[in-house]
Structure 1
Amino acid sequence: MDKDYTKYTADQLLNDDFFLKSESSPTAESLLFWQKQMAENKSLAAEIEVARLFLNAIRTNVNKTALPNSESEALWQCIEQKNNSTDRKSRQRYLLLSVIGIAASICILLSLGKYITLQSDKQETNYLSIIEAIPQSDSTSSKVQLILSNNEKMTIDGEDSQLEYKQEGSININSQKIEQIKKEKQKTTFNQLIVPVGKRSTVTFSDGTKIWVNSDSKVIYPVVFSEKEREIFVEGEIYLEVSKDEKKPFIVKTRQMDIKVLGTQFNVTAYDNEKDMQVVLVSGKVEIKSGNKHKDILSPNEMFRYDKEINQGTVSRVDIDDYVAWKDGYYQFKQQSLEVILKKLSRYYGVLLYCGEDINEVSCSGKLDLKEDLEDVLSSLKKAIPIEIEKKNESIEIKVKH
């Protein structure tokens, strides 16, 4: 971007195509560009904040032709707080220019469809926008990635990486201390952990809560939890040991479920490309609000299964070891069908494993070591049940012997 934005005002930003597109469809590059502009120019940073205040107002009033007087006054107070100018007349003129800029920009914003909004404790975080801001090429990386709140990307070596957040704001990654850029306390900023197929990771938050993150999963979490609650977003599978804090409940959000706890241990499986989502409770108690807004309470050794296709959840008793052993580096099966076993291995290693129609006729009990390569795991499986293994390009066919 060659354009010089150093002397831009808020109304000019609201009429600038690149700024509007950056707000409506942010990319990692555009986010980094505007963060750099704000860091290098305090005056421009104030103008950007004013422009974003109006964009945020448009979001909440998109179906209205004009802002109500009460909201206009609230916006004016916000603008005054963001400005150090003592010339009220010039600021009133400035406000009028900004409103004109908004009127010209509304059509553009509506056509773009969606945009990232300012984060606050009173607004629901748009986690999907945060995910979509990550370039697709990064999602195919063979290494664990940590994307910091300033959009700095870090790759982490190892099959089973460990992250630990300290109270003072630093992170230990595989026992190596990493300093984060300090942020203003009133701003909610997020880190993102992306774990590719065949890898696992753990995160220990500053409150003592620990999560295990399974293969092919994403977790988004705030650098600092808010004063009222602790909230993270998950796509994939995680296991949690939540530190108890009655004043700050812990909430795990997925695309279809919200799981609320005070202090407990449980497993969440919520892959976006699978129709079933699961919550398995090890200890404590959790409250689950699913897609149809229905609430279910789980007790230990119970599993909540949510079917996205029919928008319905069911609760049943299970052997929890069959669902949580992966956090210790292995899969455990007790009379599980071959179909279930192959599905889990396909998901973990990122390789399509399939079998014929007689797949449900075969069940298996035992353990499979996830630290081994897929070829070694299938060899172990072959010793336990009568199967043949045939590689076909990027997939593997499993044939049952009769």
Structure 2
Amino acid sequence: MELYNRLIENPLFFKWIYHPTIEIESYWRQYLESNPEEANLILEFKSRFQKQLSYKNESLSEYEKRQLARRIISQLGSVDLHRKKVLFVRSIMRYAAVAIISLMLGGSLVYLYLPKDEVAFPIESLSLSQNISEPILILGNSREIRLKKDESELEYSANGAIRIDKEQVVRESAKSNSPSMNTLIIPYGSRSTITLADGTKVWLNAGSRLVYPSRFTDKTREVFLVGEALFDVGHDKDHPFIVKTKDLSVKVLGTKFNVTAYPEDQSIQTVLAHGSVELIKSKAGLFDRPVLLEPGQMGFWSKENNETIVSQVDVSSYTLWAEGLFSFADADLSRVVKKLERFYNIQFKYENPMDGTMIISGKLDVSKDQREVFEYLEKLTRLKFEKINAWTYVIK
């Protein structure tokens, strides 16, 4: 039961059933060929779905899709689940990419929740494990390419070739003309810039990952995000660009915007620099409507009450991180500290927890030496940032 639940939490599985594309079909074909021992399990599950859909309206919400899936799971309850569990987990450990990367890194695809101090990979948590210490690019054929520790740069060409840090060139497999799904994993302490095949530029912040096709061939240009990224989208009115997170999708034609969707946070923030975007809830009900943003606005979606609040903000406070600057105005110290934890891959503890509520304003140039950054904060807050070990600091 648990293993089937993990599979249905994978958005690529539902996309394969409801809205298959060349990229999705290519991925699952490659996956089934590489995992013949799992092929019958996955195809049977898919077949049951399609039979059920012949009696139902296909315009189902994400919640209704999962409810239908759980009814199908109950029909499969007599199957030897223990045998399937062993095969499923074994496959996950070998193919921690794209749709199944979700399970290895904590959940389904972009539903990657995992507290930093945990080693297991439960579905319902989403931050990076400390075991993941180096940036990794995982190609559709499961090939892993290690990237530079601090900052890396990737650039895709229209024919699928990838230039890494302006030097190394990696080419897509010649065995298939179909684009593949790639996964870029950026752990805490690192950052990356990627130019997608359509010219869209993405700055990926620490503790984030992006799942995307090597080339866009569908009617929409879809990517999946966990963490934080700044997007500068190439305009194409006939092919909307969609950033999907666990709870929210951001749909655009061509614009620049920042999305913050860390799993441990209780909100998803979308800040629009220019252009226009609409925010669409993943579990939108019949009467839910997209929320439209104008330049200079932030859409703040709360996980607790499932509502989006729109407000005017200083856009630079949410986008300057891509230039190595942390800008904050009337922000809790705890919020600033959380950014530093992700940026440096360290942990802060408070001698007095109330210090985290201190309101501060300013800019941090994190391109400077780490000690200089902390000294500036000490002057600003009149607190001490004392080093305990390589990973831990105490604020007192």
Do Structure 1 and Structure 2 share a fold, with TM-score over 0.5? yes
Corresponding residue to 2:379 among 379, 383, 387: 383
Give the corresponding residue for 1:223: 214
Pair 1:35–1:127, CA change in 2 (3 A): closer
Corresponding residue to 2:308 among 309, 313, 335: 313
CA RMSD of aligned residues (A): 3.8
How much has 1:339 moved relative to structure 2?
Answer: 2.5
Corresponding residue to 2:344 among 343, 349, 352: 349
Give the corresponding residue for 1:56: 46
List per-residue Cα deviations over 1:236-256 (Å, max 9, x = no partner): 000000001011000000000
Quick one: which amino acid aligns to residue 167 of structure 1? A
Please list every run of 5 or more consecutive structure 2 residues that lacks an aligned counterpart in the other structure.
11-26, 56-74, 90-96, 107-118, 121-127
Q: Is structure 2 residue 242 aligned with structure 1 residue 251?
A: yes
Corresponding residue to 2:102 among 113, 127, 131: 131
Q: Is structure 2 residue 359 aligned with structure 1 residue 363?
A: yes
Q: For the residues of structure 2 that align with 1:171 and 1:147, how far apart are their CA atoms?
A: 12
Between 105-114 and 342-351, report the one with greater CA deviation.
Answer: 105-114
Between 158-167 and 135-144, report the one with greater CA deviation.
Answer: 135-144
Secondary structure, aligned partner of 1:387: coil
Give the corresponding residue for 2:319: 324
Pair 1:262–1:395, CA change in 2 (3 A): same
Contact 1:202 1:210 in 2 (8 A): yes
Secondary structure, aligned partner of 1:279: strand
How much has 1:305 moved relative to structure 2?
Answer: 0.9
Q: For the residues of structure 1 that align with 2:395 and 2:38, how far apart are their CA atoms?
A: 57
Identical-pair percentage: 32
Contact 1:163 1:172 in 2 (8 A): yes
Give the corresponding residue for 1:155: 146
Secondary structure, aligned partner of 1:353: strand
Q: For the residues of structure 1 that align with 2:321 and 2:76, how far apart are their CA atoms?
A: 54
Between 252-261 and 223-232, report the one with greater CA deviation.
Answer: 223-232
Contact 1:342 1:354 in 2 (8 A): no
Pair 1:158–1:347, CA change in 2 (3 A): closer
Q: For the residues of structure 2 that align with 1:389 and 1:297, how far apart are their CA atoms?
A: 41
Pair 1:58–1:291, CA change in 2 (3 A): closer
Q: Aligned runs of 1:191-270 on 2, under 5 Å?
A: 191-270=182-261
Quick one: which amino acid aligns to residue 377 of structure 2? L
Contact 1:289 1:296 in 2 (8 A): yes
Q: How many residues align?
A: 320
Quick one: which amino acid aligns to residue 383 of structure 1? K
Q: For the residues of structure 2 that align with 1:313 and 1:36, how far apart are their CA atoms?
A: 37
Quick one: which amino acid aligns to residue 380 of structure 1? Y
How much has 1:190 moved relative to structure 2?
Answer: 0.8
Q: For the residues of structure 1 that align with 2:305 and 2:99, how far apart are their CA atoms?
A: 22
Pair 1:109–1:258, CA change in 2 (3 A): farther
Q: For the residues of structure 1 that align with 2:345 and 2:309, how far apart are their CA atoms?
A: 28
Contact 2:204 2:228 in 1 (8 A): yes
Give the corresponding residue for 1:396: 393
Using the size of structure 1 for normalisation, the TM-score is 0.69
Q: For the residues of structure 2 that align with 1:245 and 1:111, how far apart are their CA atoms?
A: 47
Quick one: which amino acid aligns to residue 172 of structure 2? Q
Contact 1:195 1:217 in 2 (8 A): yes
How much has 1:274 moved relative to structure 2?
Answer: 1.3
Contact 2:299 2:310 in 1 (8 A): yes
Using the size of structure 2 for normalisation, the TM-score is 0.70
Q: For the residues of structure 2 that align with 1:312 and 1:104, how far apart are their CA atoms?
A: 36
List per-residue Cα deviations over 1:325-367 (Å, max 9, x = no partner): 1001121123433222112212322322244354366433332
Q: For the residues of structure 1 that align with 2:237 and 2:80, how far apart are their CA atoms?
A: 45
Q: For the residues of structure 1 that align with 2:309 and 2:102, how far apart are their CA atoms?
A: 29
Secondary structure, aligned partner of 1:107: coil
Secondary structure, aligned partner of 2:343: helix
Contact 1:127 1:233 in 2 (8 A): no
Contact 2:159 2:215 in 1 (8 A): no
Query: Runs of 4+ in structure 1 displaced over 4 angstroms?
Result: 23-26, 34-39, 47-55, 103-106, 109-116, 133-139
Quick one: which amino acid aligns to residue 196 of structure 1? P
Q: For the residues of structure 2 that align with 1:210 and 1:320, how far apart are their CA atoms?
A: 18
Contact 1:292 1:311 in 2 (8 A): no
Q: For the residues of structure 2 that align with 1:366 and 1:325, how far apart are their CA atoms?
A: 12
Give the corresponding residue for 1:107: 79
